[in-house]
């Protein structure tokens, strides 16, 4: 079953197990100096303008699990100026604010190996100007899942029907501190979705913005591993917001009262990992 989101923005639409260290250990931040990060532009096309995001559900997902993911994409889409009212409805820091970092790459640009089964699944969505997001449930076994990767993004081969980009994210069921929406697996999926969504828009066809070799690129989010808030260092996710009722850790508010934990992104204006808290 597929769900579709239609978005229009200035730029487009728009594992994790973290250890929380003791307060005393935070003094180590003084010893960790972040190195400048420069994602080189390789002269390829980025995704811009109205882009359809098609959600392709594979396996058993409950209505609540689907709502968590759907609200995330609706929150990203609300960053469009045409939906300023929805953006204003989100408490700060928000998902829409987080997405603004990805939008900055478009101003710097000019107007991977594929898994056959993933491409075939993704082809069930739109064929033109689309990002087809394949989400596999925890009852679906994917070869090599979370051994070498817990998600990926790529593009279909060129054809007479056009070319589409795709994202695949599986249900990792690895606990993110305390899950913001009460579902460990799906809240973990949203983190990977955020990372791969930003990568899909800034490096959709493998010749956009990235650092390092094309076969193993560091992209907007993967260049900032394990960073979710300020003062982060290896083993410490950063200074996060905590829901006083549930004890859940998060860093961005979404629509419909959702709270999400989203990865840091390389800000092209500062060449540093940027977080919303």
Q: How far is Cα 11 from Cα 199, in angstroms, rounded to an integer?
A: 13
Q: How far is Cα 207 from Cα 248, in angstroms, rounded to an integer?
A: 38
Could you give the C-alpha distances from 114 to 152, 168, 215, in angstroms and in order? Answer: 9, 11, 11
Calculate the CA 47 to chain-centre distance: 15
The DSSP bridge pattern shows strands 130-136 and 51-58 to be parallel
Q: Report pTM.
A: 0.78
| Whole-number pLDDT of residue 12 | 39
| Whole-number pLDDT of residue 270 | 94
- Domain range summary for the chain, segments of one domain joined by +: 2-274
> Tokens 């069921």 appear where?
173
DSSP string, 149-183: BSEEEEEPPPBTTB--EEEEEE------SS-TTS-
Q: How far is Cα 132 from Cα 54, in angstroms, rounded to an integer?
A: 5
The DSSP H or E segment spanning 108 is none
* Rg of the Cα atoms in the chain: 18
Question: pLDDT of the chain along its 277 residues, tens only?
Answer: 566 554 433 333 332 222 233 333 344 444 455 667 889 999 888 887 778 899 999 999 999 999 999 999 999 988 765 555 555 567 899 999 999 999 999 888 865 445 667 777 788 887 778 899 999 887 776 554 444 457 889 988 877 777 889 999 987 665 557 889 999 889 999 999 999 999 999 999 999 999 999 999 999 999 999 999 999 998 899 999 999 999 999 999 999 999 999 999 999 999 999 999 9
């Amino acid at each position: 079953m597929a769900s579709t989101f239609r978005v229009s923005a200035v730029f487009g639409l728009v594992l994790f197990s973290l250890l929380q260290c003791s307060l005393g250990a935070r003094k180590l931040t003084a010893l960790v100096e972040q190195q400048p990060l420069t994602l080189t532009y390789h002269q390829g096309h980025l995704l811009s303008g109205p882009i359809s995001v098609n959600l392709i559900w594979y396996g058993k997902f409950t209505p609540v699990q689907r709502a968590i993911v759907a609200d995330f994409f609706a929150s990203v889409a609300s960053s469009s100026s045409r939906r300023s009212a929805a953006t204003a409805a989100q408490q700060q820091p928000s998902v829409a604010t987080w997405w603004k970092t990805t939008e900055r790459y478009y101003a710097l640009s000019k107007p991977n190996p594929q898994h056959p089964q993933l491409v075939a699944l993704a082809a069930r969505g739109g064929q033109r100007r689309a990002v087809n997001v394949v989400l596999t449930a925890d009852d679906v076994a994917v070869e090599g899942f979370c051994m070498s990767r817990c998600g990926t993004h790529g593009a279909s081969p060129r054809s007479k029907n056009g070319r589409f980009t795709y994202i695949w994210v599986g249900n990792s069921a690895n606990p993110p501190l305390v899950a913001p929406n009460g579902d460990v697996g799906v809240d973990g999926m949203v983190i990977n979705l955020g990372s791969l969504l930003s990568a899909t828009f800034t490096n959709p066809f493998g010749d956009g913005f990235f650092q390092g070799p094309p076969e193993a690129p560091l992209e907007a989010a993967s260049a900032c591993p394990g960073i979710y808030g300020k003062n982060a260092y290896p083993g410490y996710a950063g200074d996060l917001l905590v829901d006083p009722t549930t004890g859940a850790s998060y860093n961005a508010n979404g629509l419909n009262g959702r709270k999400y934990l989203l990865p840091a992104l390389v800000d092209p204006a500062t060449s540093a990992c940027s977080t919303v808290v």
